[in-house]
Amino acid sequence: MSKFENKLCPVCRAPFTGEADIVVCPQCGAPHHRVCYLTKNKCALEEYHAQGFIWNGYLPGEEPAPEPESTDPHHAEYPAGTPIPKPMPAIQDMEDMESPEDYYKRIVDRLNDSTEGEDGVSIRELCAYASTSVFHYGRAFSVFRSGIAGKRPKVFMNLCSGLFAPVYQFYRKMDLLGIGALLITLATSLPLLLVYGGILEDSNGVYALVSLCRFLSFAMTVVLCLFGDYLYYRHAIKQIKKIRSRMRERGEAYYEALSESGRPSWLRAAIGFLALMLMTASMGLLPRLLQ
């Protein structure tokens, strides 16, 4: 506190004491009482920023601060008998603020963590297998590996997994899941095509069947949006352990093999899309063949 003691707050003009809760403007370095700063929700000297003002112990146009009072006037804000909340840590200097480079380095270090979890693999192996979108999947994998008493989260939002099914599953080389999503998509579309083709008469039973199919299609989309990343996480663990059994050394070649094995396949995605379009077109011709 020696740097700010006896200096004036630019809002209330009261001198800082040794017990004052202080925050510092990140642009000019002027200290404020935390309560004063939150009241204005900005630096009180913002109008001087354009002039290149930098706080050097004095406010614009002020002489050195007088000797402080024995107590901080902000302590009187709390009525007698009211518990005073624990103050948040004060930002004493710009050096205390995490720079974008430090934040990025911290995230990268977390993604490169080689510590194996209860799933038997490490975050580094999982991210190497994911190959792309590692920031998204790194967060998802960390969530799935967390939890208490064996109860681990399984939900992590991924709109692409549900909205672009089954193409997205083929793109991520989850062929069995992609085939399952493809069959469900076609099965839930068939009753609607038969109704539009005039094969099924519009009745209460048929209407209920069509409504059920629409609900199942919507439910599949929601489930894949919420649980698609968890299914990919389980798929990645199995593939990593298969590659690990073939490669005992976990050097750079091992991680390159993981990346090569898990790298998304646009070819698979294109084949899955063409299969979906072909089967949809075939089903579209089905009403004419049945007439």
Q: What is the CA radius of gyration of the chain?
A: 31
On whether both 161 and 42 belong to a single domain, the answer is: no
Query: Domain residues for 222?
Result: 152-290
Give the end of a domain, one of 70, 96, 122: 96
Task: Report residue 141 as tokens.
Answer: 């994998």
**Which residues are CB-neighbours of 164 under 8 A, at least 6 positions away?**
none
Please give the pLDDT value at position 56.
Answer: 85
How many structural domains is the chain composed of? 2
Domain boundary among 50, 68, 96: 96
Is there a contact between 121 and 145 (Cβ–Cβ < 8 Å)?
no
- pLDDT for residue 1: 46
Burial class (CB in 10 A: 0-12, 13-18, 19+), 24: buried
Question: Does the pLDDT at position 28 exceed 60?
Answer: yes
pLDDT in tens, 253-271: 898 999 999 999 999 999 9
pTM of the model: 0.63
**pLDDT over 90 (residue 161):** yes
Q: Is residue 260 part of a domain?
A: yes
* Burial per residue of 99-138, b for 16 or more beta-carbon CB atoms within 10 angstroms, e otherwise: eeeeeeeeeeeebebeeebebebbbbbbbbbbbeebeebb
Same domain, 76 and 157: no
Residue 219 is assigned to a structural domain of this protein: yes
